A and B are shown apart, each in its own frame.
Chain A
Amino acid sequence: MTAGTDVVVSAEHVSKWYGQVIGLNDVILKVPAGITGLLGPNGAGKSTLMKLITGQLKPSKGVLTVLGEPIWHNAPIFSRIGFCPEQDAFYERMTGLEWVTALVGLNGQGETASREMAARALETVGLSDVSGKRIAAYSKGMRQRVKLAQAIAHDPELLILDEPLSGMDPLVRRRIIRLIKEWGRAGKSILVSSHILHEIESMTPNIVLINQGRILAEGNVHQIRDLIDEHPHTVYVKADDTRELARRFLTDDHVLSLRFEEGAVVVQTGRPDIFYTRLTDLAASGELGTIHEVTSPDDNLQAVFQYLVKA
């Protein structure tokens, strides 16, 4: 990484248009060293951002730097970057070893060194035993792993992984998650995209939420949770006397809406901190009978994500 900085990707007011269609809209982003998850639903702009970060696309507006350097028209920087694209595209006739060797060769390595590096990378992703097979004969999971192998083979400082767990079975998925965490611990910076929150959550607490071409939030998972506390928060309260409970909350300014469900009341509040304090007080007083269950779908990170995406 560039000396004196711990930001591996920096986007300043970056926008990308495809004709009349906005792919990315005024993105301001600083991706720190370490593992960062890029989260967003399909079509959120993740791939556009990944393509901009890997220099495949040029920003329509704004400044984008990777490892402290502009990425567009900067071929040499790719010796420091490994990219695992989303698309299931290969030179199908080649074997896994031939393919990775050829790609490492483009990094300037000699034939022998390339072959050794490729073999090592294939071993890391658990494909040694099938490295001599044609890629056309690989399963979906193997194809994903061979893509990872070509990304890591030249030992880059920054790994950019676009939906790397897609199509993998649970065991391989676990293995790859472990590998990503190991690479992170080994000092690599990794930007990994996914539309599945628990995948990212299992790799890193540092996330960036993106939707409709905009960055919704970025930071630590806990910061994201704090952020959600600033927004309307839904709480499901299962209690003996839901009518009285609702009546007590109805007069509170922070309560935005109330609705009844079977044996429960669902409260939407703008100040969850005040709400939880008051609810705890009410439960402790015993005035309303027993409060059986207090759950908030917003406590689940998936819900936080969905909430922010809808906001």
Chain B
Amino acid sequence: MTTRPSVLSSALRVFDFSLGQMLWSRRSVFLALLVGAPVLLAVVVRIFAAAGWLPVLNGAQVGGPALFGVLMWLLFVRFVVPVLGVFYGTSLMADEVDDKTITYLFTRPVPRASVLLGKYLAYLACVVMLLLPAIVIIYFLVVPVGGSIGQGFPLLAADLGMVAVGVAAYGAVFAFVGAWLKRPLIVGLVFAFGWEQTVLLIPGYLKRLTVAYYLQALVPHAMPQESALSMLMTAFQDLPAVWVSLVCLTGITLLALWMGGKAVENREFILEQ
């Protein structure tokens, strides 16, 4: 029998092949809009701040660093990162199946799992390349409003790391869902915005079956108390240590990728005629 090529080297070839496709896809336009909106918001905040109007939260004026923290918590951790994970992750295989181009990848001497892994790496590169610079821009626009760029720099680094880890974990989980199920998007959305949001409010161990639980522990900012829901969440908060979160998120990512790879290896992708 011919020698089996390694999953990693094959995945890198698929990555090369997929990155350009992904960067110029319609999904990247969606991603640009998704990360462009907060940047635009930051520009507006900066303009208003220059005119002497500071943003108000819970009746009190907040400075740039606090506002940046709110954006990270409410917008990126709770919304942008899971949304990107769902939309990109579930589509890694589904797009190839819908476009009927998967045939070209599955009739090459590369292990099927490497197709998923390569496309996942392309997703990671694509999202990180677009998302992290947007966060940096927001930081430079918002934090100087009543704060110091230099002092907040370690927090920015932590934020960037946290977002990257979140993108990796959510992407892997939804890549598995996409490889496993025929119609993965609904399941992905239910998981990210139904299961995760609900379970985080319930005391007990169930929240450990979410990505958000571990991701929250990595957020370097205090959770904003702008709503009853947030206060409720804070009350039930028993965040794990940072190192525990990192280990668990790494474990979730690797496990999801392994299961996704297995699903791709064993599943028949029947193209509609």
**How far is A55 from B111 in the complex, measured between Cα atoms in Å?**
12
Give the top 5 A-B pairs by smallest Cβ distance, nearest first. Answer: A76-B2, A89-B100, A106-B108, A79-B109, A78-B109
Known: A85-B103, A87-B100, A108-B5. A93 touches B24 (CB 8 A): yes
Q: Is the CB of B2 within 8 A of A89?
A: no
In whole angstroms, how far apart are the Cα atoms of A103 and B115 in the complex? 12
Chain B CB within 8 A of A205 CB: no
Given A105-B13, A106-B14, the answer on whether A75 and B4 have CB atoms closer than 8 Å is yes
Q: Which of A18, A81, A90, A107 contacts B270 (CB 8 A)?
A: A18
List, in ascending order, chain B residues with CB within 8 A of A108's CB. Answer: 5, 13, 109
Q: Which residues of A contact B100 (CB under 8 A)?
A: 85, 87, 89
Q: Does B227 contact A (CB under 8 A)?
A: no
- Interface centre among A69, A78, A89, by most chain B C-beta atoms within 10 angstroms, is A89
Q: How far is the CA of A90 from the CA of B102 in the complex (A)?
A: 10
Shortest beta-carbon distance, A137 to chain B, in Å? Answer: 16
Tell me if A102 is interfacial: C-beta within 8 Å of chain B: yes
Residues B110 and A106 in contact, CB atoms below 8 Å apart: yes
Residue in B16, B103, B109, B111 whose beta carbon sits within 8 Å of that of A56 in the complex: B103
Given A56-B103, A76-B1, A87 contacting B271 (CB threshold 8 A): yes
Return chain A residues, CB-CB under 8 Å to B112: 75
20 A-B pairs with CB atoms under 8 Å apart are A54-B103, A54-B107, A56-B106, A56-B268, A69-B2, A76-B3, A77-B2, A87-B103, A90-B101, A91-B101, A102-B16, A103-B108, A105-B17, A106-B14, A106-B17, A106-B109, A106-B110, A107-B108, A108-B13, A150-B104
Instruction: Let me know if A256 is at the binding interface, CB within 8 A.
Output: no
The reply to whether B268 and A58 contact each other, CB–CB distance below 8 Å, is yes
B109 and A83 contact, CB distance less than 8 A: no
Query: For the complex, what is the distance from the CA of A79 to the CA of B2, rounded to whole Å?
Result: 9
- Is A80 part of the contact surface with B, judged by Cβ < 8 Å? yes
A105 to B14, CA, bound (A): 9
Taken together as a complex, chains A and B put the C-alpha atoms of A297 and B103 apart, in Å, by: 40
B198 interface residue per 8 A CB criterion: no
- B105 interface contact, C-beta 8 A: yes
* Complex CA distance for A79 and B110, rounded to whole angstroms: 9
Residue of A nearest to B21 (CB): A91
Cα distance A74–B111 in the bound complex, in angstroms: 8
B253 contacts chain A at the CB level, 8 A cutoff: no
Given contacts A18-B270, A90-B101, contact A78 B108 (CB under 8 A): yes
Closest CB of chain A to B243's CB: distance in Å?
Answer: 38
Q: Which residues of A contact B106 (CB under 8 A)?
A: 55-56
For the A-B complex with A80-B2, A87-B100, A106-B13 known, give 13 more contacts whose Cβ atoms are closer than 8 Å: A55-B107, A56-B268, A57-B268, A57-B270, A69-B1, A76-B4, A85-B103, A85-B107, A87-B271, A89-B101, A103-B104, A106-B17, A106-B105
Alpha-carbon separation in the docked complex, A188 to B100 (Å): 27
Taking CB atoms and an 8 Å cut-off, the chain B residues in 3-29 that contact chain A are 3-5, 10, 13-14, 16-17, 20-21, 24
Closest residue to A48 on the B side, CB-wise?
Answer: B270
Chain A residues, CB < 8 A from B108: 75, 78, 103, 106-107
Q: Given the complex, which residues of B lie within 8 Å of A75, measured CB to CB?
A: 4-5, 108-112
Residues of A46-61 contacting chain B, CB below 8 A: 47, 54-58
B191 at the A interface (CB under 8 A):
no
Nearest to A87 among chain B residues (CB) is: B100
- CA distance in complex: A175, B129 (Å): 46
Residue A259 interfacial (CB < 8 Å): no
Interface-centre pick from B1, B2, B273 (highest chain A CB count, 10 A)? B2
Q: Is residue A73 within 8 Å, beta carbon to beta carbon, of the partner chain? A: yes
Q: Which of B20, B103, B109 contacts A89 (CB 8 A)?
A: B103
Chain B residues within an 8 Å CB radius of A94: 20-21
Q: Which residues of A contact B1 (CB under 8 A)?
A: 69, 74, 76-77
Of residues 240 through 273 on chain B, the ones whose CB sits less than 8 Å from some CB of chain A are 265, 268-271, 273
Name, among B20, B99, B107, the residue most crowded by chain A CB atoms within 10 Å (CB to CB). B107
Determine whether the beta carbon of A102 is less than 8 Å from that of B268.
Answer: no
Contact with B along A118-162 (1 / 0, CB 8 A): 000000000000000000000000000000001000000000000
A57 cross-chain contacts in B, Cβ below 8 A = 268, 270
Report the bound CA distance from A81 to B16 in whole Å: 22
Instruction: Determine the chain B residues whose CB is within 8 A of the CB of A80 once the complex forms.
Output: 2
Mask of A98-117 contacts with B, CB within 8 angstroms, 1/0: 00001101111000000000
Q: Roughly how many angstroms separate A47 CA and B103 CA in the complex, as a whole number?
A: 12
Rounded to whole Å, the gap between the CB of A244 and the closest CB of chain B is 54
The one of A18, A76, A90 in contact with B109, judged by C-beta atoms closer than 8 angstroms, is: A76
Chain B residues, CB < 8 A from A90: 101
